[in-house]
Chains A and B, each alone.
Chain A
Amino acid sequence: MTDLTSLTLAEARDRLKQRAISSVEITRAHLGAIERAEGLNTFVAITAEKALQMAEASDARLARKEAGPLEGLPIGVKDLYATEGVHTQACSHILDGFKPRYESTVTANLWRDGAVMLGKLNMDEFAMGSSNETSYYGPVASPWLPPNWSRDRGRAAALSSDKRGLLTPGGSSGGSASAVSARLCLAATASDTGGSIRQPAAFTGIVGIKPTYGRCSRYGMVAFASSLDQAGPLARTVRDAAIMLRSMAGPDPKDSTCSPTPVPDYEAAVGRSVKGMKIGVPKEYRLEGMSSEIERLWARGAEWLRAAGASIVDVSLPHTPYALPAYYIVAPAEASSNLARYDGVRYGLREPGADITELYEKTRARGFGTEVRRRLMIGTYVLSAGYYDAYYVRAQKIRTLIKRDFERVFADGVDAILTPATPSAAFGIGEKGSDNPVEMYLNDVFTVTVNMAGLPGLVAPAGLSSEGLPLGLQLIGRPFDEETLFALGETIEQSAGRMTLPEPWWA
């Protein structure tokens, strides 16, 4: 009997349609896998009963030949999506006990299409982080063992509460990435503000796409930075990611930044020829001191695309070096505004205070973690009187320049841009950021430009490091041209060969 958790989402979809397997069977198989993977700390809430109810309903629809595009497929949901009646806290203490009375549009779309909810996935608190180490619920471990570690050593570390030494899955969508890579769900919803889908995809050897800003609705997503946040899927193959995005995306009158453009059939783009496409390689992404391993992978990726009939051209995106610092002004500034609502009055944690101000100050001090507090303070500062022009407005002007760089390159006939996804393979839990917060921020150097310009970006696994850890490549596309990214991503995936994901060592 095939291990049902080793199927891709597309394979499971097809077998369910053929009625070779049932949704209840495959859902149970995943619930079992989740139970055995407690040591990875990927799920913060498991909705087992609800999942089986949804699976039964899906089986009934499959029997009547009324299957939706995701009918019966067990999916994980990042904790920042409002799921009605179910734990939604963006992995923060300040939203203690919050169970929304409404559903996010993205998850409503998944349930409309027949998907089954396994539970809510761990993440960096309020999506602020690149390693899933800032979660109120503790760190997530990647299913990839550190180089030369035995299974026993891994198991012992997974049992410890700080999981020191095990690898981070990246962040902020660390729970989502780890769960997909460990085969605990067929795919997961995630979100990306500065790289939070793409960097974890690269670290765990899976596929992630952040679509164009406005492609998916942000209604019901706990907001971090409203002009940068975007929903997207994490999955094990490019085809699976395309299937997920098609369901997740679409117009929504409840989000005035959500585009009314119709959603194409993304799966149809997977396997499309890339012959004649022009791929840009930006020189400013070649960082000083960049590992030769990453440089070689990048060159190999270009070779694969050339072999498939695309042409490779050197391009220049001169404002690239300013994207990361500008992001660390814009994102915290918007966060300081969005997180002002967490005040202990209407939902979540409340710390008693003698007057209203004390209630606010004590609740927020107790409820927010140190990374969130750091970013809120920077955000508050750069928006305050006397500093608004020098910091926030200036950063927003630089954003215009960053976007213009891309527009110029696309106007020259470039269809997509190929870059590395991360400056390194996954690092260890506890290894970075304790001395200087900026050390952690540097993880996003290749990904933030894409959020700053509002463009779509896809990461596909492209190979292994010399230590045997996954490395990914990033493709950046024109606005609303996710189809080109899926076609190119599939070429990379086929050329690299399907990534062999780790066998369970954690149970």
Chain B
Amino acid sequence: MSVDLNTVRRIAHLARIAVSEAEIPHLQGEINAILKFVEALDTVDVDGVEPMTSVIPMRLPMREDVVADGDIAPLVLANAPLTEDGFFVVPKVIE
């Protein structure tokens, strides 16, 4: 299994990482090297095997549905590049 240049552009867009045209072929090479490496998995018989969903058998812990913390908006905003009146400020999202 290998990827073509268009697929590399598509993946970069899905991952929201800007990649220059000049970098695409190199990235294609890197991705294909890894895909070649994982081809070894194709031969394993996984018939009837469940995918691992829980690393260590454990029930999901539950708690009472009450408000346990909050009112910390200033702390949440403290590391933001740009804020205004308790909002994160970003460029236009919707046309």
Chain A positions within 8 Å of B, measured between CB atoms, are 97-102, 212-214, 227, 253, 256-257, 259-260, 319, 321-322, 325-326, 328-329, 336, 340, 343-350, 352-362, 364-365, 368, 373-374, 376-378, 380-381, 384, 390-391, 393-401, 403, 436-438, 441, 454, 479
Contacts and interface: CB of A to CB of B under 8 A. Distances in A.
A354 B91 contact: yes
Contact of A436 (B15, B33, B44, B56): B33
A507 B7 CA distance: 50
Interface string B13-35: 11111110000000100110111
Given A359-B90, A360-B16, A437 B50 contact: no
A329 B61 CA distance: 28
A270 B16 CA distance: 49
A180 B44 CA distance: 41
20 contacts: A101-B75, A213-B56, A214-B58, A227-B52, A321-B40, A325-B40, A328-B38, A345-B90, A353-B91, A355-B91, A359-B90, A373-B17, A377-B12, A377-B15, A378-B31, A384-B11, A384-B14, A397-B50, A397-B51, A438-B34
A72 to B, nearest CB: 30
A355 B34 contact: no
B36 to A, nearest CB: 8
Nearest to A356: B93
Nearest to A373: B17
A381 B52 CA distance: 20
Contacts of A441: 37
A43 to B, nearest CB: 22
Contact of B38 (A99, A256, A325): A325
A368 B41 contact: no
Given A355-B93, A376-B17, A328 B37 contact: yes
B76 to A, nearest CB: 8
A322 B45 CA distance: 12
Contacts of A393: 51
B44 A319 contact: yes
Contacts of B66: none
Contacts of B34: 328, 374, 378, 437-438
B81 interface: yes
A89 to B, nearest CB: 11
Nearest to A329: B38
Interface residues of B, number: 50
Given A336-B15, A368-B17, A380-B15, A101 B50 contact: no
Contacts of B49: 397-398, 400-401
B80 A346 contact: yes
Nearest to B17: A364
B55 to A, nearest CB: 4
Contacts of A213: 55-56
Contacts of B53: 396
B67 interface: no
A390 B61 CA distance: 32
Interface in B64-94: 72, 75-76, 78-82, 88, 90-93
A365 B19 contact: yes
Contact of A381 (B11, B16, B79): B11
A400 B50 contact: yes
Q: Considering the complex of A and B, which 3 residue pairs feature the smallest CB-CB distances, nearest first?
A: A396-B51, A361-B18, A454-B55
Contact of B27 (A336, A356, A377, A391): A377
A100 B1 CA distance: 42
Contacts of B90: 345, 356, 359
Nearest to A350: B81
